[in-house]
Structure 1
């Protein structure tokens, strides 16, 4: 069986490794548009941008590993079409047949429209190695950075910039930072962390456009105020990379729609990672996380080889900002109650999410014990009484 993996990120590397480990001995090809082998993305906006991690440490597998496993790695090659009837992929270098095709195309950073100045030099996104390499030379002390967007990517970029000595202003159009992904209590902890490190955070503030002629020089707010900047980072979310799949006639629903096995509407095509949505607990979701990409890709690899197992995600995430680590287990969507617990020191504590008396998620800032215990409780389906949780002197007793 000839297997082709389209997209060369974390999910692709995990899928290829699992296929090899499970004994697939037919042709296996990984095609990626970027000129570099699969690498870690989370450190890009943190350790790599800070200069603390080089490209050699970003790579998920060595060049020797790909060769030893007999995986054909085709880099810098862009797929342009999928012919589902002929089971043929067309790229900018030719064509390639497949028996099973896996789409691990990831997601693309959203950009401001050109009408708002999003096309100007000096306006950056942080998604790929090339993005970070482009912004790194401008991240110098005493320069002025404006970050648009108060999600995790924007906050991480702001933290790195402050550590490098830049003057940083973060603008969030919603009433508060982390509005789509975390409870107000978690946002309060993160806001205090940033303000204590000198980041100016403006919430419920809309921008009219980025200003500048041949280079961005600042931002004009909706009220007419102009804020000067030497560079701008937009962290306004990502969109699943599903255009190729849609053009091929595959079902699309918040990304490339799969069943609980990871199979798309075409029985010979599978999907995993940030580009894929799947059924879970009566809804269809898409997980943008390293853990999700690894777990789903490994399961899809086994299902391609005939395992026929359902994907049961165990969501977990993390974000490093300044000297603080935020760890998240579960999904807090649809919660109806919050329990907070203090942590050690000014910047620490945990936020526990309940829905109908069931524990569904926990956010832990500088509190690894709360994260680990919360994760174990959620994955085992156990929910301590909220009052008991709030008053527990030793979290371990909840297990």
Structure 2
């Protein structure tokens, strides 16, 4: 009886424990292992930083597991409430938010939260739900409504101001709109309109945002001031050479030349210590992550699931591309972390939630077929 009871218990618990997509889980394991090794070196001057990263990873793992259990149908029902709550919190930040370092981005509800992080997932959820409702009836005005749904949170985030997060939320929404069938002609028109509006956008930028663009164009104009950090980051990447200097031997980080080298600039530390070979290996892991996500999106059973999985996957791509680009000096510094590598609690949880949603879509596709 006891053996049968144990087998019966395992059968009941198995569907709730074995919820991860094996290929995606293996890719994430490689990324997280690389993150821990790099954080051990980058955070050695910061006691407790590695332990905090381990804790953040465990929290993200729990969130990912919980998200993988939630069926896509439930996510679809939650899309509108989550989006509405996110916008309401952004309005609350605008009215009552906490100011830190000149930016009003946080809200105190017994503890500090950053509502803009919610929109990174809430935005593709909402637009995927919207286009799912319009399946077979998508017209030009459907894209106008989608653009308005996207513009509201992006505008509120930009008012904080938070250019990096607003760009990430904007890109997440645009990915859904594009995957929903926006024509190339419309995209070309939007690109032309965007290019034509650059002078207006420039006039609306804050001084520090203009400085970032000017620093990107010529960091040597102020090498000991605004251009110092990006110059040192590029030096760190280049000094790694082919094979790198080795773990704990990166001078740029350990001599405090590179700023925020456990968060936004962790890629420059990784590149200095592991060189071109390490960079190519890391890029390969990210390509595998994106490839697996796109496979899950392509095989998803519903339009909602396809749009959501595709958008989340491209969010991972945007994170990686923008971070590597900004620390390499080819994009402005906008404060975007390297996914599953940079230190940070909120970003790790958001990324874990995104990965969990991908696993949910893949898992429930299999359950439907069986």
> Which TM-score applies when normalising by structure 1?
0.25
- The structure with higher relative contact order (CA 8 Å, sep 6+) is 2
> Which TM-score applies when normalising by structure 2?
0.27
User: Which one has a larger percent strand, Structure 1 or Structure 2?
Assistant: 1
User: Which one has a larger percent helix, Structure 1 or Structure 2?
Assistant: 2
